[in-house]
Structure 1
Amino acid sequence: MALGEHLKEARDRFFIAAVAVVLGTVAGFVVYDPVLAALSRPIQDLNAREGRSAALNFDGVASPFDLMIQVSVFLGLVLSSPVWLYQLWAFITPSLKTKERRVTVAFIAVAVPLFLSGIFLAWLILPNAVRVLTDFTPGGFSNIITVTVFITFLLRLMLAFGIAFLLPVVLFGLNLVGIVSGKQILKAWRITIFLVCLFAAMAAPGADAMSMFYLAAPMLLLFFIAIGLCLLNDKRRARRNTVQQAYLEATANRASVIDGI
C-alpha cells in the first residue's frame, strides 16, 4: 500500500482500539468500588494482621474523582486488551504472506493470556511488596499514605508486568516480519538476563531472593521460548528462500536453453 493508505489504516485501527478502551472504561466505572476495595486490601491487612497504624487518605477535593478516572481507564485497558492487541497485530499482517497471516489468531490466543498473567502475577506479589516496604517505618510512627500515589503505584506496577510478559510475543512478531533475526536476539541474552533480574529485584522486593526468582523465572522462560521460535522461523524462511532461488535459477536456465534453440 501507499503511505497514505497505511496512515489511513493506522487511523482506522487506532479508532477501533480507542472505542474498545472507552467501552472498557465505562465498564470499569461500574466495578470501580469493589476493585478499589481489593487494591486497598494490602493496607487493611497491615492493620488487621500485624497491628500497624496505616491509612489511605485523599489529599484534595478532586482526588477521589481523579482516582476513579485512573482506575477505570486501567480497567478499560485490561478489559479491551483482546481488541487493541488484535488491531496492533492486524496492522502488521498485510506485510505477511497468506500462510503467515494464519498466526494472527494464535498471536491473540497467546498475547492476551500473557498480558493478563503478568497483571495477575503483579497482583499476587503486591501484599508482600507492601509489607516489605512498610517494614522500614520506624517504631512509633504511622503510615499515612496518599491513596492516589498508592493506587497509581499499584496500577503502574501491574501494567508494567503485563507489558513485560508481552515482550516475547512482540519479539516473535518482529522476527516474523523480518525486522530482527533469532541470532540477533540471541546475541543479547546476557544483557537481557541482567535487565530481567534487575526488573524483578525492583518490582518484587521480597524478604528473600525467592520472590525475585518467582518473577524472573517465567519472564526468562518466555524470552528463551521466543528465541527458539525465532530461530525455527529463520530456518523455515531460509529453506523457503533456497527453494525459491533454485526455482528461479532453473527457470532462467530453461529460458536460456529455449532462446538458444
Structure 2
Amino acid sequence: MDHLRELRNRLLVSTIALVGGIIVGWIFFDPVWEFVKAPYCETAQAKMLRDNTCTLVFSGIFQSFFLTLKVSALVGVVASSPVWLYQIWAFVTPALYRNEKRYSVTFMALALPLFLVGAALAYIVMDTSLAILLGFAPSDAVAAVQIDEYVSYVLIMLVIFGVSFELPLLLVFLNIIGVLPRATVKKHRRTVIFGMFVFGAIITPGGDPITMMALAAPMIILYFVAEGFMYLREKRSPDAEDFSHLSDDEASPLEEDSGPAR
C-alpha cells in the first residue's frame, strides 16, 4: 500500500506540473506556433495558395481549438519534463543498489538533453523532408496541407527522434545492472546497425532517405559510444571467479575447512 500511495502522489505531482506547462504553452501559443510552422514555411509549396505567404488550411469548426490544445500539450510535456523525470527516478531509485543509484542520477541528467538533441535534429531536417515529400506532387497541383495533419507530423518527428536518442542510454543502464553484457552487444553489432537503418526507414512518417539517414546515423554513433562505455566499465571491473573447471556433479564447499569437527 505504501508503494501505491507513493505512486499516486508522484503521479499527482507530475500531472500538476504537466497542466502548468500546458497553461504556459496556451499563453505563449503565438510564438510557439511561429516556431512550429517554420519548417513548412521554408518549402516552395507553402506559398502556393497565397503569393509569398505561408499558408496552412483547416476544414473543421473545432480543428483550430484542438490545434491550440495539441501545441500547448507539446510545450507542457517539454516544460514539465524535469519534474516528471525526477518523479520517475525517485520512485525507481529505492529498488536499486548503491552503485546503480549513482549511475541513475547521471542517466536522468543525460536523458533530457539527449531527447532535446534528438528533437532539435528532427526540427533541422524537417524542412528538407517536407520538400522531398511534397515534391512528388504533379507540377499543376496545389498543396493545401491540413493544419492538423502538419502538427501531427511535427509531433511524431520530434517524439521519434527524441526517444530514439534515449536507446543507447538504456543499453548502458542494462549493462550496469548486469542484464546486458558487452559481449552480447558486440556479437549482434551488425544486426543492430542494419536494424537501425530499417527502423529509420519504417518509423519516420515520410520514409524519405534524408530523414532515415538523419535518424539512423546518430543512433549508430551513440550505439558505439554506449559500447565503448561498456568496454571501459567491464575492463575496470574485477574479473568474476571462473567455475568452468568444476564438474556439474561436484559439490562446492560453502566455507574453508577450519579443521576437524569437534
1:67-146 → structure 2 map (5 Å cutoff): 67-146=67-146
Change in Cα spacing, 1:201 to 1:144, as seen in structure 2 (3 Å) is: same
**CA-to-aligned-CA distance 1:112-156 (integer Å, 9 cap, x gap):** 110100010000001111111111110111011110011111111
Query: Using the alignment, how far apart are the partners of 1:259 and 1:23 within structure 2?
Result: 72
Say if 1:42 and 1:237 are closer, same or farther in 2 by CA, change over 3 A: same
Are 1:32 and 2:29 an aligned pair? yes
In the alignment, the residues of structure 1 paired with residue 17 and residue 188 of structure 2 have an alpha-carbon distance, to the nearest angstrom, of: 36
Give the counterpart letter for 1:83 in structure 2.
Answer: V
CA distance in 2, matches of 1:8, 1:228: 40
Higher helix share: 1
Q: How many aligned residue pairs are there?
A: 248
- Find out whether 1:22 has 2:19 as its counterpart: yes
SS at match of 1:74: helix
Shift of 1:10: 3.2
Q: Which residue is 1:252 aligned to?
A: 255
Letter in 2 for 1:90: A
> TM-score normalized by structure 2?
0.80
Q: TM-score scaled to structure 1, two decimals?
A: 0.80
Gap change, CA 1:80 and 1:228, over 3 Å in 2? same
The CA distance in 2 between the partners of 1:26 and 1:110, in whole Å, is: 26
User: Match for residue 180 of structure 1?
Assistant: 180
Query: Compared with structure 1, are the counterparts of its residues 65 and 118 closer, same or farther at alpha carbon in structure 2 (3 Å cutoff)?
Result: same
User: Which residue in the other structure is 2:229 paired with?
Assistant: 229
Amino acid across the alignment from 1:84? W
| Identity of matched residues, % | 33
| 1:55 aligned counterpart, secondary structure | coil
Q: What is aligned with 2:10?
A: 13
Equivalent residue for 1:45?
42
Contact 1:23–1:76 (Cα < 8 Å) also in 2: yes
Partner of 1:245: none
Unaligned runs of 5+ in 2: 242-251
- Match of 1:106, SS? helix
- Report if the CA contact (8 A) 2:47-2:55 is conserved: no
**Measured at CA, do residues 232 and 212 of structure 1 come closer, stay the same or move farther in structure 2, by a change above 3 Å?**
same
Question: C-alpha distance in 2, partners of 1:118/1:238?
Answer: 35
How many Å separate the matches in 2 of 1:201 and 1:115? 20
